[in-house]
């Protein structure tokens, strides 16, 4: 018999129904596929093309949370490393990840985790969503530009001029669009729980 002053055991969270787990897995796979499609939509402007990959990486975080959002991007990267032509321009293989743009691919994993830090329940506030998006952009650029500098033997300034400055206006728009889509999906009850 427990002591009269003992704290009761905290309630255990209810296990999620099997269908909810399947629903989250489907959303993870769907967003990984969207990132792959986004890679095919590109504007080549130098060593690093403008693509829609970041938009879907940000969206993965906003909708799935930090762990599952990062998992969706990691699934996409793994598919490319294993040989599926999912990277920009239909490229595939480990050489892409080890090449000049590989840091951006790895940075997208971190970016999805950061956009996933918004509250998981209820609507995403614009301020919280934009703050998470700004942190995600900073992380993706930090990893991507550092990798670009290392692979191409560039100085920090050269890497920023080549790998950040041309993309910043487009990527800010992608954060806003991803946040708007996530807010709409949540408001309509279509986002994963």
Helix, strand, or coil (residue 60): helix
Q: Is the Cβ–Cβ distance between 147 and 106 less than 8 Å?
A: yes
**Helices 102-115 and 126-152, axial angle in degrees (round to 10):** 160
How far is residue 70's CA from residue 35's CA, in Å, rounded to a whole number? 12
Q: Is the Cβ–Cβ distance between 70 and 61 less than 8 Å?
A: yes
Helix, strand, or coil (residue 99): coil
The size of the chain, in residues, is: 193
Roughly how many angstroms between the first and final C-alpha of the chain, as a whole number?
Answer: 39
Report residue 31 as tokens.
């967003």
How far is residue 61's CA from residue 20's CA, in Å, rounded to a whole number? 18
What per-residue confidence (pLDDT) applies to 24?
Answer: 86
pTM summary value:
0.85
How far is residue 94's CA from residue 80's CA, in Å, rounded to a whole number? 8
Per-residue pLDDT tens over the stretch 5-55: 555 555 555 456 677 788 889 999 999 999 999 999 888 776 567 899 999
What per-residue confidence (pLDDT) applies to 191?
Answer: 77
What per-residue confidence (pLDDT) applies to 48?
Answer: 64
DSSP β-bridge partners for residue 42: 51
Domains of the chain with CATH codes: 21-187 (1.10.1760.20)
Stretches where the chain sits below pLDDT 70 are 1-17, 46-48, 193
């Amino acid at each position: 018999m427990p002591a009269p002053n003992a704290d009761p055991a905290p309630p255990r969270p209810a296990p999620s129904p099997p269908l909810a787990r399947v629903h989250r897995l489907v959303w993870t796979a769907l967003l990984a596929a969207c990132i792959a499609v986004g890679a095919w939509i590109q504007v080549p402007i130098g060593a690093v093309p403008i693509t829609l990959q970041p938009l879907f990486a940000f969206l993965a975080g906003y909708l799935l949370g930090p762990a599952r959002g990062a998992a969706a991007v990691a699934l996409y990267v793994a598919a490319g490393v294993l040989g599926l032509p999912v990277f920009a321009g239909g490229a595939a293989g480990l050489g892409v990840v080890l090449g000049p743009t590989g840091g951006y691919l790895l940075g997208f994993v971190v970016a999805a985790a950061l956009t996933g830090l918004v509250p998981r329940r209820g609507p995403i506030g614009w301020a919280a969503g934009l703050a998470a998006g700004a942190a995600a952009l900073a992380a993706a650029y930090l990893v991507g530009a550092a990798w670009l500098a290392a692979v191409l033997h560039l100085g920090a300034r050269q890497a920023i001029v080549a790998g950040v400055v041309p993309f910043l206006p487009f990527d800010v728009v992608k954060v806003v669009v991803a946040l708007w889509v996530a807010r709409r999906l949540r408001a309509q009850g279509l986002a994963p729980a």
